[in-house]
Copies of this chain bind each other. A is one copy, B any other.
């Protein structure tokens, strides 16, 4: 089976994901936020490329049933209910709600991979849960693609390292895996940061930017390995969860 890692959603073509099981990673912060929202009982997360599209969709829903959510340049969008800080997605805020979600990088990555057979959303907070699904797919000889979404078209260290962790987990005990150079590189990068996610965020440009903007506590949330063990699945243009609710 093939196991390929791509850096940047913009570099992915239909042929790269067609028929594959795909995981989209945007650790800081869209993937983490989606996992936290679903773990706290959000009914569904619907990604939109633009804020306008999210607002348009909201008009077909009852006011109490949805939250307008997302960011531009890391900040909440004026008039929206929630930003892209996972700590805002408490059970009180999101339980039973439809989250209409738009972010700079993570949501466009989800939209780019629609030709895939199955699309999961991965981060450190739901690593083992998503990894179990990917390992099962690999054992069934499904080809896999991991999209390290990156930031503003460019490579992000934290997404690459998370991708490398998935690659390492998937390969364990599975022979006959063909990897592209992105997968090879992500495994090398992961070795350096495997047990020190705070250091990873301190050395990544986006991590430093978030800390500078006052989101240091978000970084601590994003580093909670397996803290929100849900499997977010993107299907019919929305993300719902396979895993259990987090204990209340």
Chain A residues proximal to chain B, CB less than 8 Å: 6-8, 10-11, 13, 151, 153-157, 160, 180-182, 184-185, 188-189, 192, 203-206
Contacts and interface: CB of A to CB of B under 8 A. Distances in A.
Contacts of A188: 188-189, 192
Contacts of A185: 155, 157, 160, 185, 189
Q: Which 8 pairs from chain A and chain B are nearest by CB?
A: A157-B181, A155-B182, A11-B153, A181-B205, A7-B155, A155-B181, A156-B181, A188-B189
Q: Is the interface of A mostly helix, strand, loop or mixed?
A: helix
A11 B155 CA distance: 9
Given A11-B10, A188-B192, A192-B188, A181 B204 contact: yes
Question: What is the copy number of this chain in the assembly?
Answer: 2
A46 to B, nearest CB: 28
A9 to B, nearest CB: 11
Contacts of A181: 151, 154-157, 160, 204-206
Contacts of A7: 7-8, 155
Contacts of A153: 11, 13
B154 A180 contact: yes
A180 B11 CA distance: 18
A107 B24 CA distance: 31
Given A7-B155, A184-B204, 5 more contacts: A11-B155, A181-B204, A181-B206, A185-B189, A189-B189
A151 B182 CA distance: 11
Nearest to A181: B157
Contacts of A192: 188
